[in-house]
A and B are shown apart, each in its own frame.
Chain A
Amino acid sequence: MSKVYVVYGLIVIGLMGTAQYRGWRLMPVNETRTVPKSVRDNPGSYRPVYGGFWHVSGGK
């Protein structure tokens, strides 16, 4: 029974190390999409996904 626990703990640590290394985030930032190159010429034409800003309370 406790062998299962040790294996579980090692998996947790493995995932932790990978997440730190690869820069994973706990809750996915689901905001990725492809934008056309024209945005550099006309930044105003770009519309964010959500109508307003996707508000995240700022702060470190």
Chain B
Amino acid sequence: MTKASGSCPNCGAPLEYRWSSSVQTVCEYCQSLVVRTDVDLKKVGVVADLPLDASPIQLLTEGHYGDKHFIVAGRILYEYEHGTWNEWHIVLDGGRDGWLSDAQNEFAVSFPVEVSNLPSPEQATLGRSFSWNNTRFTVVSRTRAHYAGVEGELPFEYWDKTDVTFVDLRSARMDFATLDYSDDTPVLYIGTLVDFDELRLTNVRTFEGW
């Protein structure tokens, strides 16, 4: 891949990829979505201003997942019938990528998991259970959502606005799983639900009056 710093292909401003795993970033000056390939930096679109949202997390917020420290590198804001939620792209010390999801201040950290024979969207019905990683997960919600904005650096190219299906699963303990049907091949993310206090966040967003 191209190196970590260069110029925005649209406006020429200095552009930097802070994290080696990042594929996509947003030019701060012209709001272009820039994707880096083996050869060069390519503009793939323009990102609009993010709608008003209430996440207490922001880019460069730092936190902890268990004993591992992480930093927030980017985000995807999703919109669905009943509102929005955020998927914050986090990078743990050591370089591993993960996702911190924030849906009305209910937080979960999850990581992509390689599992074969994932169910199709039609198969993952409400109340149905699946077993992955020796844990029994039950489908608790199915959501049709589309992306409403991106920010910062992401580990893949993402800016498509078409509706995709997400299936959320929970266990009897604090396990959390999501089936992401954005691509042709579904992707499974597995992790845990976490409390705001457990994340031990620093550099969080500030709110008037709080």
A and B touch in the complex (CB under 8 A): no
Q: Which residues of B contact A (CB under 8 A)?
A: none
